[in-house]
Amino acid sequence: GENVEQHPSTLSVQEGDSAVIKCTYSDSASNYFPWYKQELGKRPQLIIDIRSNVGEKKDQRIAVTLNKTAKHFSLHITETQPEDSAVYFCAASWAYKYIFGTGTRLKVLA
Amino acid sequence: EAEVAQSPRYKITEKSQAVAFWCDPISGHATLYWYRQILGQGPELLVQFQDESVVDDSQLPKDRFSAERLKGVDSTLKIQPAELGDSAMYLCASKSQQETQYFGPGTRLLVL
C-alpha cells in the first residue's frame, strides 16, 4: 500500500546550525506535500507545503525541496532556534487523501 | 483566525465503556478527517467525509468504531466498547477545496 518513510526519527542540532529531514513516498500520484510541526500536547500546525509542479519553496528560515523522479522531498531549517524543537511530520497527498510520515523529533540545543 | 474545534480535550474511561468525540470543522470546509495518533507516530486516517458522505473508512475498525456527519458540518466519532489499545490522541482535521488541511487540538483518550 501507499506509505511515506521519514528520516531521521530523532535529530539533535546546535542552535544556529541547520536541520534537514527527508521523506520518501511510494505513490507517484501524490501531488501535494505538506510539512507539519507538532509541539508537545498541541495540534499539528502546517509550516510549509509544496505542490508537484514546483521543485523548491522557501519561507524565511524554512525551505522544502521536491524530487519527483526519486519521490523524495526534504525539509530544511536554517539558523535553528530553541523554539524549533518539536516533532515534524511530512505527508504526501493526492485526491484529498493524506499519508503521513512517522515523524522526526528535532531538538535544538542552546 | 478560524480553527477546528474538538471536545472533550481529555477522556479517561474504563475498557468496555462507550466514548464519543465531537469535532466542529472550520466553517465552509467540506472535507473532514478523523485520525488516530499513537504517541511517537504520525496520524493514521480512520475516516474521511466529503460533506455528509463517507469517502474512506477502510482503516476504521467497524466492529467498535463508528463515525457520522449527519448534516455535513460537525461530526462525531464513537467507540463502543473501548479497549486498552484504543488509548491514543484522536485528531480531527478539515480542509476546503484547497489542499491545506487544518487540525483540531485533539482528544487524548486513556482507556483503563
A6: pLDDT strictly greater than 90: yes
| Whether A6 and B42 lie within 8 Å, measured CB to CB | yes
Q: What is the pLDDT of residue B96?
A: 82
Task: Pick the more confident residue, A58 or B99.
Answer: A58
Q: What is the pLDDT of residue B29?
A: 93
How far is A14 from A26, CA to CA, in rounded Å? 32
A20-65 tens-digit pLDDT: 999 999 999 999 999 999 998 889 999 999 999 889 999 999 999 9
Give the C-alpha distances (Å, rounded to integers) separating B70 from A54, B49, B73, B75, B94: 38, 10, 8, 7, 16
How far is A44 from B18, CA to CA, in rounded Å? 27
| Whether A101 and B42 lie within 8 Å, measured CB to CB | yes
Cell reading at B76: 462525531
Cell reading at A47: 509550516
B50 to chain A: which residues are within 8 Å by CB? 96
Helix (H) and strand (E) counts in chain A: 0, 11
Q: What is the pLDDT of residue B100?
A: 85
B30-41 tens-digit pLDDT: 999 999 999 888
B106 to chain A: which residues are within 8 Å by CB? 43
Residue B66 one-letter amino acid: S
Cell reading at B2: 478560524
A2: pLDDT strictly greater than 90: no
Chain B residue with the nearest C-alpha to that of A100: B42
A1: pLDDT strictly greater than 80: no
B44-70 tens-digit pLDDT: 999 999 999 999 999 999 999 999 998
Q: What is the pLDDT of residue B83?
A: 97
Q: Reply yes or no: is the peptide bond before residue B81 cis, omega within 30 of 0.
A: yes
- B54 near A CB under 8 A: no
| Whether B45 and A96 lie within 8 Å, measured CB to CB | no
DSSP string computed for B45-66: EEEEEETTEEEE-TTS-TTTEE
Q: What is the pLDDT of residue A97?
A: 86
- For chain B, what is the mean pLDDT? 94
A82-107 tens-digit pLDDT: 999 999 999 999 888 899 999 999 99
B106: pLDDT strictly greater than 90: yes
Sheet holding A72-77: strands in order across?
A4-7, A19-25, A72-77, A62-67, A56-59
Q: What is the pLDDT of residue A94?
A: 87
B33 to chain A: which residues are within 8 Å by CB? 98
Give per-residue burial for A73-99: e unless 16+ CB within 10 Å, then b. bbbbbeebeeebbbbbbbbbbbebbbb
| Whether A43 and B106 lie within 8 Å, measured CB to CB | yes
Residue B48 one-letter amino acid: Q
How many C-beta atoms surround the C-beta of residue A101 within 10 A?
A: 25
